[in-house]
Amino acid sequence: MKINFKNIQGLFFLGLLSITVSCNEDYLDVSSKDALEQEDSETVTPEQMVNGVYGMLTDWDYAFSYLGITEIISDNADKGSSTTDSGGDKNVLDALTFTSSASSINAMWGHWYQSINRATTAIIYAENYGLTDETYKNRLVGEAEFLRALNYFWLVRSFGAVPLQHIDLVKRQPVSDVYDYIEQDLLDAIDKLPLKSEYDSEDLGRATKGAAQALLAKVYLYEEEWQKAYDMANNVMLSTQYSLHPNYEELWRASTENGVESIFEVQARGVSTAHGVQQYSQTQGARGTDGWGWGFNTPSQNLVDAFEAEGDAIRMNASIIFRGETLWDGREVFTVENDRYNEKAYSSASAGASDGDKNIRIIRYAEVLLIKAEAAVNLGLDAATPLNMVRNRVQLTSITNPTLENVWSERRLELAMEHDRWFDLVRTGQAESAMALDGKTFITGKHELFPIPNAQLIQTPDMEQNPGW
């Protein structure tokens, strides 16, 4: 057989031509396969976007940085862990010698703004998605508003005047404007959210009307709007959704999660696929041979003294794991490195797992009672009733004519290690004296607010720093 070479050439050119044709430039229009493109909005529901806002609460920052700026910094807790382990900046937070470069402060600053961004995105998404069920849409918007308000509240009480994301990223808005924005979100959320009992069982843990009211009561307390705080706390009480759990010892155990006293808490599960506040129980778990964690955020002797001064053994033993103790579930905590550990961070089932089942209680009914009591003292109304409900549960005697100091002391013991102490000290003006008693120097006019993180100032040099920093 004889093949004509010219034919071969012809075929070859035909081949080349066919590639050229197939090289249509549409070939470069590749679509994302491994991540959902934003233009394909049908793939993501508004509820998923709202879930994503809650998800921020499970981030690692709450398991480490947050401990530093809420408890370790205060007189309730010490850094813990090994003496030589600085925990990043936990040692300087503990000693009150931190600077604007403190990584924990930077972490929470960024984290809260991220959460706010997610919440705003979720609200816009829910409103524009085309949901026909108004109640459902409102609920989703209300949930995100609640979460946005919560994060702005944490920001404003930490940093004072902060930029409001929807106005400007650099210009710090007056504190009152920030509070106005928080109130506006919460009032709207109160309108839109259902009561705890109105949710389906599968939605347990979502923000409720009661949660928004309780948070708003707390916000008013910080604003010293006593009447509004009193009324809002009262609204929570009148809703009949909540009551005190009779046994304080069980308050932070898995068995009381989302129980009668729970108003809002971070949800977590320990079984596969486990998902909780990443490493929260691990960072605070006992350290050493019998331990299960890193041993940070250890309750201080100062806190023990406060419990003992009040004769409050129940709450002390429920809040603190002492070295040498056998825990309620039989775990022996004998050979460990530190004298005390935070029992409220302890999970019986998950122990030191990196993803544990610990639900962090953010607001519970006892605090609402104490808000009402504090507002009542200021208003000259009946503070004794709500205060003594809290005291009597732990077998402490009633106080007939409570003072502000009585309420503040009660707050410390009732809410010990619940991430509120530092802000209470600053809010009530006790910080300087309390720090002095704890051997630290609180500089008035400086330490009331955290510094704007140095990393932020590098990005936006025009942003003003807080006084003294």
Partner 1 sequence: MKNKFTFLLLVLFYCSTLLAQQIKVTGTVSDQSGNKLSGASVIVKNSIIGVQTDFDGNFTIENVPNSATLVVSYLGYFTTEQKVNGLKTINFILREDSQALDEVVVIGYGTQKRSDLTGAISSVKSDDLLKQPAINATQSIQGKLSGVSIINTNAPGSEPVVMIRGLGTAASGTTPLYIVDGIQVSGISNINPADIETMDVMKDAASAAIYGMDAANGVVFITTKKGKLGKAKLSVSSYYGATTILNQVKMANASEYITYFNEVRTSLGSTNLLSTNQAYDTDWFDELAEVGLTNSNNVSISGANDRVNYFFSLNNYNEDGILTGQNLTRNTLRSNSTYNLFDNRVKFTQNISAAISKETPKPFGAFDEAYKQAPIVPTYYDNGAFGQAEWDTSTGLVVYQGNSSLNSIGNPLSTVYYKNQKDITTDLQGSFDLEVKITDYLKANSRFGATKSYYRSRSFNDIKSQYLTLNTGQTEDDFNALKAANPSTTSYADNSLSYTTSDSYRFNWDSYLTFDKEIGEHTFNVVAGITKGSKNDIFHTYQLAYDVPEKEQYWNINFASEDYEQVSQQYFSTPTHQLSYYGRLQYNFNQKYFLQANIRRDGISTFNNDNNTDYFGNFPSFSAGWVLTKENFLSEVKNLEFLKLRLGWGELGNSNVPFNVSTYTTSTGSSSVNYVFGANQDLVYGAALGASIYPISWEITKETNVGLDFQAFNSKLSGSFNYYNRNTENAILYVTPVYTSGDQSKYYDHGAEVLNKGFEVELNWKNAISQDLSYNVGVVFSNNKNNVENVKSAYDGQTGGSLSNGQITKRLEEGQPIYAWWMWEADGVWQTQDEIDSNAHYGSPSPGYLRYKDQNEDGVIDDNDKKFFGSYIPTYNFGINLGINYKDFDLTVDAFGAGGNKVYNGLKSTRIDGGENIAYDTYANRWTGEGSTNTNPGADRDSYASSYYLENGDYVRINNITIGYTLPTVIDQISKIRVYATAKNPFLITKYSGFTPEIVGSSSSTGASGTSGIELSAYPNTKTFLFGINIDL
Question: Hey, which residues between 84 and 143 contact partner 1 (CB under 8 A)?
Answer: 84-89, 91-92, 95, 97, 99-101, 103, 106, 109-110, 113-118, 121
Stretch that binds partner 1, among 1-9, 239-247, 308-316, 384-392 (CB under 8 A): 1-9
* By CB under 8 A, residue 436 contacts partner 1: no
The nearer residue to partner 1, 95 or 244, going by C-beta atoms, is: 95
- Contacts to partner 1 from residues 235-264, by CB under 8 A: 258
- What 8-state DSSP symbol labels residue 82? -
The nearer residue to partner 1, 144 or 369, going by C-beta atoms, is: 144
Residues 6+ apart with CB under 8 A from 218: 153, 229, 363, 367, 371
* Cα 218 from Cα 261, distance rounded (Å): 16
Backbone angles phi, psi at 368, to 5 degrees: -60, -40
Pattern 34-73, partner 1, x by CB under 8 A: xxxxxx---xx---xxxxxxxxxxxx--------------
The nearer residue to partner 1, 56 or 407, going by C-beta atoms, is: 56
E strand intervals along 60-216: 77-80
Is 154 within 8 Å of 110 (Cβ atoms)? no
Query: Residue 451 burial by CB count (10 A; 0-12/13-18/19+): exposed, middle or buried?
Result: buried
The nearer residue to partner 1, 137 or 323, going by C-beta atoms, is: 323
Kindly tell me which residue out of 334, 398, 433, 437 binds partner 1, with binding defined by CB under 8 A. Answer: 334
The nearer residue to partner 1, 59 or 223, going by C-beta atoms, is: 59
Kindly tell me which residue out of 238, 459, 467, 468 binds partner 1, with binding defined by CB under 8 A. Answer: 459
- Contacts to partner 1 from residues 278-297, by CB under 8 A: 278, 288-289
Which contacts of 188-195 are long-range, i.e. CB under 8 A and separated by 24 or more positions? 188/141, 188/142, 188/145, 189/142, 189/143, 189/145, 189/146, 189/149, 190/142, 190/216, 191/138, 191/142, 192/138, 192/139, 192/141, 192/142, 192/145, 193/139, 193/142, 193/143, 193/146, 194/139, 195/239, 195/241
Kindly tell me which residue out of 23, 309, 327, 379 binds partner 1, with binding defined by CB under 8 A. Answer: 23
DSSP 168-205: -SSSPPPHHHHHHHHHHHHHHHHHHPPPGGGS-GGGTT
| Least Å from the CB of residue 455 to partner 1 | 7
| Least Å from the CB of residue 13 to partner 1 | 8
Stretch that binds partner 1, among 27-35, 132-140, 380-388, 412-420 (CB under 8 A): 27-35
* By CB under 8 A, residue 1 contacts partner 1: no
How many residues bind to partner 1 according to rule CB under 8 A? 108
Rg (CA), the chain: 27
- Contacts to partner 1 from residues 153-212, by CB under 8 A: 162-163, 165, 169-170, 201-206
The nearer residue to partner 1, 314 or 457, going by C-beta atoms, is: 457
Stretch that binds partner 1, among 70-78, 329-337, 392-400, 428-436 (CB under 8 A): 329-337
For residue 164, give the amino acid letter.
Answer: L
Kindly tell me which residue out of 1, 30, 133, 246 binds partner 1, with binding defined by CB under 8 A. Answer: 30
CA 330 to chain centre: 30
* Cα 143 from Cα 211, distance rounded (Å): 10
| Least Å from the CB of residue 426 to partner 1 | 22
3-class state of residue 148 by DSSP: helix
* Cα 41 from Cα 97, distance rounded (Å): 48
| Least Å from the CB of residue 453 to partner 1 | 7
Kindly tell me which residue out of 233, 353, 366, 416 binds partner 1, with binding defined by CB under 8 A. Answer: 353
